[in-house]
Amino acid sequence: MLPLPDFLIVQSKIERKNEWGLIFGGTITIRITYDSLMKSIEQGTILQELLHQMVHIYCYIYEIKDTTRQGRYHNENFRKVAKDYGLIVQPDLKFGAIVTGCQEQVRELQQSQLPEFESDVQKVKKLIQDSDGQAHAYICPACKRKVTGDKDTKVICGYCYMEMIAFREREA
């Protein structure tokens, strides 16, 4: 079983093709830019993007080298693990391997086992669209995990299931 990652949604000042990434440290954080998240929601590729990051987390935990030496391109190891997790990955001469979609069984699983997924995605989309553009910090009183979100947002810690409280960064 993979650990539950934290999610960090940030504004992008630099236009990049791939705006999803991972931060490995005390916890594993999936970093997503607002624009990339909205694009993934609009194109219906958010589950594909989440699975893509899960493959990198799996490879990290099991010490499987999944990129080239420079970490820029997916290698054959990534392609094999991604296929096992239901992604469609095509070899690419320029980028090593690229994720082009989800296998049919993943789409079937999404429709049958995750009916609330689309509803949750639409809630996230609305929250982002309604955002005041300011990041406000919240902390879990139990485990001390921190997240950012919109002002006056009710945030529940995904680890402790406790309501997080607003705080100022300098006080932490």
Look at residue 92 and tell me if it is in a domain.
Answer: yes
Is residue 53 over pLDDT 90?
Answer: yes
- The mean predicted confidence, pLDDT, of the chain is 82
Residues 125 and 146 in one domain: no
Domain around 91: 6-130
Residues 99 and 171 in one domain: no
Look at residue 1 and tell me if it is in a domain.
Answer: no
Which regions of the chain does DSSP assign to beta strands (E)?
6-10, 20-24, 28-33, 87-92, 96-102, 136-139, 146-149, 165-167
**What CA–CA distance (Å, rounded) separates 88 from 119?**
25
Tens of pLDDT, residues 23-34: 887 788 888 887
Tens of pLDDT, residues 79-97: 999 999 999 999 888 878 8
What's the number of domains the chain is made of?
A: 2
Look at residue 20 and tell me if it is in a domain.
Answer: yes
Is residue 98 over pLDDT 70?
Answer: yes
Q: What is the mean pLDDT of residues 38-48?
A: 84
Q: Are 27 and 5 a contacting pair, CB within 8 Å?
A: yes
Task: State residue 172's pLDDT score.
Answer: 33
Is residue 132 over pLDDT 60?
Answer: no
Residues 153 and 117 in one domain: no
Q: Are 41 and 69 a contacting pair, CB within 8 Å?
A: no
**Cβ-proximal residues to 31 (8 Å cutoff; 6+ apart), any chain:** 8, 10, 20, 21, 22, 23
